[in-house]
């Protein structure tokens, strides 16, 4: 429910930002995002943008009805908000207020006519002055230029790495593009006049967090996504990605996609990320809900009662190195303080979810089955390749119990 409420706020921003080019179905829009310090290569923004370009090509090739809106949230030097962004929000707000007023007037007229014993007809409900007001609103949304790719006026934007790469990949929010981009060069907060949302609420409203970091000692952003029940993409060069690979047999089945940037070339890593995102777009709504439920159940692994042991072991190892005399009688204990001793959370290995359908060896890491073409109904189980096992409805308690018992 919180995901749906937060997503509605993002929907309102998107309706204003893309007015005049708003030709996509909001029920088939997916929100991807990347956020963090503006360390362009370390955070993997270069890989993300390149993968988005390929995802755009894949979706256009299959004539997909899905539209992906990718948010890039990095604090950069800005002069002010983009006037065009404000104008779009104002135009759509005016149209929304006009429609609400007409809706209220129509309801009053229908009530009066029914009270008089008459059946309302079209001309009695929608009057000519209402049509004139609606025409003014529709004409006001027309624009001759493309929606902006940035919400702010960035200082020296010709040298900004994100904008430079978006131009190189030709991600300009064209009407034909199935991947739209929004660069928000400022951290989110509830007092933001364009997108008044806190970061946590924004994450709740998104569908996938993408963090293909080249260097990340741990990585709080994918961990926050996990706790909030949002699937995420990480790498095996980040602490979070390595941790999940060590403790989960098939991370992708839990909504944790790990890109291999350690043993693969840059080109192969980009291709793998693009494939992960494309596979995610092929899931229907019900399958995404199942995946979010599985992801949120992993928060047990990230509980402080499990992670604190690593901090204690690291401190003991540091103190024993600087003050060995204090540990003469406990050398063996301190020496075994590293990760992987078979005690505590390091010994937890989660198997694939009980409800996940088995896949042949050698195939890609599994996610819920791909949906049937055009199927995005939450209650549609489908058949064949798009089917979702009924076990997803009955085995969640068993999975939760298994996770809890292994954590303990």
Whether residue 119 sits in one domain with residue 68: no
Alpha carbon distance 305, 407 (integer Å): 9
Alpha carbon distance 151, 184 (integer Å): 6
Alpha carbon distance 121, 156 (integer Å): 59
> Residue 35: CB partners within 8 Å, gap ≥ 6?
71, 72, 73, 74, 199, 209, 221
Alpha carbon distance 157, 326 (integer Å): 57
Alpha carbon distance 254, 285 (integer Å): 16
Q: Is 183 helix (H, G, I), strand (E, B) or coil?
A: strand
What's the pLDDT score for residue 346? Answer: 53
Q: Which of these, 188, 407, 160, lies nearest to 307 by C-alpha position?
A: 407
Q: Which of these, 149, 147, 146, 145, lies nearest to 182 by C-alpha position?
A: 149
Alpha carbon distance 124, 258 (integer Å): 60
Edge-to-edge strand ranges of the sheet holding 29-35: 179-184, 67-73, 29-35, 208-210, 232-235, 256-259
Q: Which of 104, 126, 141 is the last residue of a domain?
A: 141
Whether residue 254 sits in one domain with residue 176: yes
Which residue range forms the structural domain that includes residue 123?
Answer: 85-141
245 lies in a domain? yes
162 lies in a domain? no
For residues 230 and 221, is the Cβ–Cβ distance under 8 A?
Answer: no
Q: Which of these, 8, 28, 172, lies nearest to 96 by C-alpha position?
A: 8
For residue 229, give the H/E element and its range. none
Q: Which own/partner contact pairs does 134-138 have at CB distance under 8 Å and 24+ positions apart?
A: 134/98, 134/99, 134/102, 137/94, 137/95, 137/98, 137/99, 138/95
Whether residue 255 sits in one domain with residue 196: yes
Classify residue 347 by burial, with Cβ atoms within 10 Å: 0-12, 13-18, 19+. Answer: exposed
User: Can you give the length of the chain in residues?
Assistant: 408
328 lies in a domain? no
Q: What's the CATH code of the domain at 3?
A: 3.40.50.2000
Alpha carbon distance 294, 159 (integer Å): 41
Whether residue 262 sits in one domain with residue 127: no
Domain count, the chain: 2
What's the pLDDT score for residue 171? Answer: 96
15 alpha-carbon distance from chain centroid: 18
Q: Which of 236, 267, 301 is the last residue of a domain?
A: 301
Alpha carbon distance 131, 134 (integer Å): 5
What's the pLDDT score for residue 368? Answer: 54
What's the pLDDT score for residue 337? Answer: 43
Whether residue 195 sits in one domain with residue 66: yes
Token pair for residue 267? 């080109």
Beta bridge partners of 225: none
What's the pLDDT score for residue 379? Answer: 41
Whether residue 240 sits in one domain with residue 262: yes
Torsion angle in degrees (nearest 10) through CA of 223, 225, 230, 232: -60
DSSP string, 108-127: HHHHHHHHTT----HHHHS-
Per-residue burial over 172-192, b if 16 or more Cβ lie within 10 Å, else e, is ebeeebbbbbbbbbbebeeeb
What's the pLDDT score for residue 384? Answer: 37
384 lies in a domain? no
Whether residue 176 sits in one domain with residue 278: yes
Note the pTM of the prediction, 2 decimals. 0.81
What's the pLDDT score for residue 341? Answer: 40
Residues of the chain with pLDDT under 70: 328-348, 354-355, 357-408
Q: Which of 301, 335, 354 is the last residue of a domain?
A: 301
pLDDT digit string (tens) for 78-131?
999 999 999 999 999 999 999 999 999 999 999 998 999 888 888 888 888 999
């Amino acid at each position: 429910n919180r995901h749906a409420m937060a997503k509605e706020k993002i929907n309102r921003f998107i309706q204003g930002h893309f007015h005049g080019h708003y030709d996509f179905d909001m029920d088939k829009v997916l929100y991807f995002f990347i956020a963090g310090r503006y360390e362009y290569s370390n955070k993997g923004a270069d890989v993300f943008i390149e993968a988005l370009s390929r995802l755009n090509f894949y979706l256009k090739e299959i004539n997909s009805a899905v539209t992906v809106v990718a948010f890039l949230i990095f604090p950069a030097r800005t002069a002010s908000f983009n006037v065009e962004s404000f104008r779009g929000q104002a135009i759509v707000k005016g149209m929304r207020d006009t429609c609400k007023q007409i809706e209220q007037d129509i309801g009053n007229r229908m009530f009066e006519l029914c009270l008089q014993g008459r059946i309302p007809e079209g001309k009695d409900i929608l009057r000519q002055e209402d049509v004139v007001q609606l025409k003014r609103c529709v004409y006001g949304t027309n624009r001759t230029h493309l929606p902006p790719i940035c919400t702010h006026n960035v200082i020296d934007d010709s040298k900004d790495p994100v904008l430079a790469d978006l131009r190189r990949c030709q991600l300009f929010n064209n009407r034909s593009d199935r991947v739209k981009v929004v660069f928000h060069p400022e951290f989110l907060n509830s007092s933001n006049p364009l997108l008044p949302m806190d970061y946590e609420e924004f994450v709740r409203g998104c569908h996938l967090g993408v963090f293909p970091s080249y260097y990340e000692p741990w990585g709080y952003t994918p961990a926050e996504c996990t706790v909030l029940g949002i699937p995420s993409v990480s790498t095996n060069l980040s602490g979070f990605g390595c941790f999940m690979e060590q403790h989960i047999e098939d991370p992708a089945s839990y909504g944790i996609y790990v890109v291999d940037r350690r043993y693969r070339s840059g080109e192969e890593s980009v291709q793998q990320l693009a494939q992960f995102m494309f596979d995610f777009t092929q899931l229907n709504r019900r399958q995404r809900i199942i995946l979010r439920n599985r992801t949120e159940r992993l928060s047990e692994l990230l509980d402080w009662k499990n992670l604190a042991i690593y901090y204690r072991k690291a401190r003991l190892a540091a103190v024993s190195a600087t003050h060995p005399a204090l540990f003469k009688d406990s050398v063996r204990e301190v020496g075994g303080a590293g990760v992987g001793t078979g005690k505590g959370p390091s010994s937890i290995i989660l198997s694939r979810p009980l409800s996940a359908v088995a896949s042949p060896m050698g195939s890609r890491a599994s996610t819920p089955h791909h949906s049937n073409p055009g199927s995005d109904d939450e209650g549609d189980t489908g058949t064949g390749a798009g089917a979702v096992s009924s076990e997803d409805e009955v085995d969640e308690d068993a999975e939760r119990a298994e996770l809890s018992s292994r954590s303990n």
